Amino acid sequence: MASRPYKSKVVIMVSKHDHCLNDLLYRYRTGDLAIEIPAIISNHPDLEDLAKWHGIPYYHLPISKETKPEQEAKVWQIIEESNADLVVLARYMQVLSSDLCQKLSGKAINIHHSLLPGFKGARPYYQAYDRGIKLVGATAHYVSDDLDEGPIISQGVETVDHGYYPQDLAAKGRDIEC
């Protein structure tokens, strides 16, 4: 009997945007990704039904300034209990604390919706529009305690022109992010 290849355990963290999560779940379901997904963690309840449909536990942990330490402790507990090999921030729109970033060092990847090192943080498509940028893209990088500064793993890029508005850039970017 041939042994099956090892499947990495990947915890996915997501906020409200579902396109990256949908793509990961589709590739997981079809076997394109040799992974197990023991948990999906979100700061919003919006995607719980999607997780349930795939039979994956969904943890809704709302984050505020006051609850961040407590909720991040729960995030870490879920990651530890699931024996995750990797954590993917698939458009998780919360800045992680330095403490959590250090715990996740080398095992967490962020899918950022711009070409880094330019346009860090929130609303990068608006930043790109304001600067008249003619390239839009996405970056997968390791999480570090400096926002969007971790080592870059991969980038995707598409050309755009002056006729693109921020919402058009975001729509084009969603395809690249996945």
> pLDDT by residue (tens digit) across 88-127?
999 999 999 999 999 999 999 999 888 888 777 788 888 8
Of 89, 104, 119, the position where a domain reaches its end is 104
pLDDT tops 60 at residue 2: no
Helix/strand/coil for 115: coil
Same structural domain for residues 116 and 79? no
> 29-67, pLDDT tens digit by residue?
999 999 999 999 999 999 999 999 999 999 999 999 999
Please state, in angstroms and rounded to a whole number, the distance separating the CA atoms of residues 158 and 41.
Answer: 30
Reading the block at residue 42, the tokens are: 């979100």
**148 classed as catalytic:** yes
CATH number, domain of 97, equals 3.40.50.170
Same structural domain for residues 94 and 118? no
Q: Residue 29, Cα to own-chain centre: how many angstroms?
A: 18
**Would you say residue 154 lies in a domain?**
yes
Same structural domain for residues 161 and 142? yes
**Would you say residue 153 lies in a domain?**
yes
Domain count, the chain: 2
Of 80, 104, 128, the position where a domain reaches its end is 104
Q: Of 94-98, 152-156, 162-166, where does mean pLDDT reach its minimum?
A: 162-166
Mean pLDDT of 145-167: 89
Same structural domain for residues 41 and 78? yes
User: Domain containing 29: what range?
Assistant: 7-104
Predicted pLDDT at 3: 55
Please state, in angstroms and rounded to a whole number, the distance separating the CA atoms of residues 15 and 63.
Answer: 11
* Phi, psi (rounded to 5 degrees) for 152: -80, 135
Same structural domain for residues 84 and 18? yes
**Would you say residue 1 lies in a domain?**
no
Same structural domain for residues 71 and 38? yes
Same structural domain for residues 12 and 89? yes
**Would you say residue 135 lies in a domain?**
yes
pLDDT tops 80 at residue 4: no
**Would you say residue 144 lies in a domain?**
yes
Give me the catalytic one of 32, 46, 146, 148: 148
Pairing of strands 152-159, 8-14: unpaired
Q: What is the reported pTM? A: 0.89
